[in-house]
Amino acid sequence: ALFSADYGAFIFEVAEDTNIAGDVKGVDCELLGFTTESQTIVCGKASVLLSEAKEAYLKPLENIFPTETKKSGDNATFVPYTFGNKVFARGAKIASPRVFIPVFPGTNCEYDTARAFKRAGAETDILVVKNLTPAAVEETVEAIVESLKKAKILMFPGGFSGGDEPDGSGKFIAAMFRNPKIANEVMNLLNKRDGLILGICNGFQALIKLGLLPYGEIRPLQHNSPTLTHNNIGRHVSTMVTTKIVSNLSPWFNNVNVGDIHTIPVSHGEGRFVADTEVIAKMRINGQIATQYVDRKGAPTMEFPFNPNGSVNAIEGITSENGRILGKMGHSERISYDTYKNIPGNFDQKIFEAGVRYYE
């Protein structure tokens, strides 16, 4: 039974005192074995080390779908930054701020994102971008401007906008939001209405390509501007990673402390944060490095799979200088009480609640 084909079957791990015959009624089930503390699979008189079984399983396709990356020789260091006071909005208090979520062709996280904000007490405004005809594009531009005027928070959700074309992720979003009308309203949101901006995964890529991160404004990119590029492993990565809060500059992190560690899902092909040493040094001094990938000991690392993309200095998320714009690769919106049951860790960074409470 252990090695025979049984398509559609499930393997369950249950408590030792479970009465399989009595407790699992109406289901055809069979006892396969028992778990032990030994790192060995034992079947009859045969035994196989788990390490050997894993190697045999991965080896045939290792050259096609690699599970390891070459050692880069780079190091990652812990960059803690503690801001003395929590930051809140200066204007009138709002119980349920409106969150504007533009949906581009290829966006696939808008529902999870809207649910996370609604759960935190916000109102959400989802707008589908139409680009089939020039007239539809113009209509969308006007609709985005109107939605921005009503919003307190701009949220760029994850996905693969424009199929990550042409030759890079987030470019379609950046092209649309560089429209003068839209760009002007984004800056009004930030500078005149004390607004917040959040970008996750593909949204983070768009913030980088707009210049909103790390510079805090929509601006032309320079040759040394930070970017997010292809993962070191050369393929898409979908897994759970561990990240550490290393700066509380941002109001998005009002509900956590520097040093807190979370387990977060990632799913991307272009998540490797790259910037020159001068930019990294300035961001570090300003407290703009928000989160880092860490290993089992909580130390920032360049090693795969803990650092899933090879980001310089293990950077997972960054902020603008004032902290009100946050971009990160990990999908903080993809959590619920019924997911990741067999994975240990603290999943909730409470960033959506922090964004809403910023205006209370």
Structure tokens at 161: 């906008």
In order, the DSSP letters of 4-64 are S--TT-------TT--HHHHSTTS---------SSSEEEETTEEEEHHHHHHHHHGGGTTT
218 with 116: CB under 8 angstroms?
no
Q: So which residues are the catalytic ones?
A: 201, 331, 333
CA-CA distances (angstroms) from residue 170 to 165, 290, 311?
A: 8, 21, 17
In order, the DSSP letters of 208-251 are HHHTHHHHSS-----TT--EEE--TTSS-EEEEEEEEE-B--SG
Cα–Cα distance measured from residue 46 to residue 210, given in angstroms and rounded to the nearest whole number: 59
Structure tokens at 120: 């935190």
- SS3 category, 252: helix
**Nearest alpha carbon to residue 120 among 97, 147, 154:** 97
HSE-up (13 A, CA, CB side) for residue 213: 34
Cα–Cα distance measured from residue 360 to residue 356, given in angstroms and rounded to the nearest whole number: 7
245 with 291: CB under 8 angstroms?
yes
Residues belonging to the chain: 360
Phi, psi of 235 (to 5 degrees): -155, 175
For tokens 């890079």, the residue is 168
CA-CA distances (angstroms) from residue 286 to 175, 215, 246, 254?
A: 28, 12, 12, 17
- SS3 category, 317: strand
153-156 and 98-103 beta bridge pairing: parallel
What residue type is 323 in one-letter code?
Answer: G
User: CB atoms < 10 A from the CB of 16, how many?
Assistant: 6
Cα–Cα distance measured from residue 155 to residue 205, given in angstroms and rounded to the nearest whole number: 13
